[in-house]
Amino acid sequence: MTSNQQILSDLRLIMDAGHSLELLSTYKGVPIICKAKIQEIGKDVVHLKADGSALVCLAKEKQIRVLGSDYFEPSLAQVLSIDLPSGELELADFGYLGTKLGERMIVRVEPKSLIQVILTHDDHKTVGRIVDLSINGIGVRVGYADYNPSLKPGTNVHIQTKLPNGKIDIGGVILSVVRTNEYYRLSLRFSQNGPQKSTIFKYLVDRRAEIELELQHDYDVALKKKESVT
């Protein structure tokens, strides 16, 4: 794939002005921002330099979101290479991001360990596992043997689960159902507000803090490995 030339032209303006880019990636559902400075722009490859634990996220993702200043429209880019100790990375295949940005800015955290969830519809109870959780909804994995065909988009269900900091008992609606090679992946939106949203919010804050500590640890380990080699 060849990069959009208008995007590369805008990047040259940002490089000449000495401004930083913000590189948006996700780690276990959490949006992470990494600030980077453009060092050089080739025919289709942009060389940048950054630092900090957010680099670990970039190393784990093949595609990231590139945010700029007021005159630079958000875009997508492929990570060609990245060196954590030096902070040097290469991006290519730039294309416009459009409306997908808002979706990815919503914090969706992945649980540290398996958390069971029960979906109730009419007289049917389906047991699944939480894939990710946001303040507005939940992703649930259901095995083939446990899946009920009545669980389809538009269906209202009752959602019950127990987070580390409290129980959740809330209504929801199924937005989508995707069949994978191993399970069904359901996306649900909560259909009500209330005190339980505080429990969910507290869990999101705590889990995000844990994830950020994991990133910092991975970054520190990468730096120590580099020091031991040199």
The answer to whether residue 222 scores a pLDDT higher than 80 is yes
The token duo for 135 is 């303040």
Same domain assignment for residues 182 and 123: yes
Kind and range of the H or E run holding 208: helix 196-229
Asked whether residue 90 falls in the same domain as residue 122, the answer is no
In which domain, by residue range, is 29 found?
A: 5-104
**74 and 21, same structural domain?**
yes
Same domain, 130 and 192: yes
For the full predicted model, state whether its pTM sits above 0.75.
no
> Considering the chain, what percentage of its residues have pLDDT values greater than 70?
92
In a domain, 154, yes or no: yes
Name which of 62-66, 91-95, 138-142, 223-227 the model is least confident about.
Answer: 223-227
202 and 124 in a common domain: yes
The mean pLDDT value for 62-87 works out to 84
Residue 213 lies in a domain: no
In a domain, 143, yes or no: yes
Q: Within this chain, do residues 100 and 121 fall inside the same structural domain, yes or no?
A: no
Mean pLDDT score across all residues of the chain: 88
Regarding whether 42 and 130 lie in a shared domain, the answer is: no
Tell me, yes or no, whether 224 lies in a domain.
no
Kindly state whether residue 39 falls inside one of the protein's structural domains: yes
Same domain, 154 and 63: no
Q: Are residues 50 and 18 in the same domain?
A: yes
> What pLDDT, on the 0 to 100 scale, is given for residue 102?
46
For residue 228, being part of any structural domain is answered with: no
| pLDDT tens figures, 167-207 | 999 999 999 999 999 999 999 999 876 678 888 988 998 99
pLDDT in tens, 75-127: 899 999 999 999 999 999 998 876 555 455 567 899 999 999 999 998 899 99
Residue range 46-69: mean pLDDT, rounded: 88
Task: Give the domain CATH number at 57.
Answer: 2.40.10
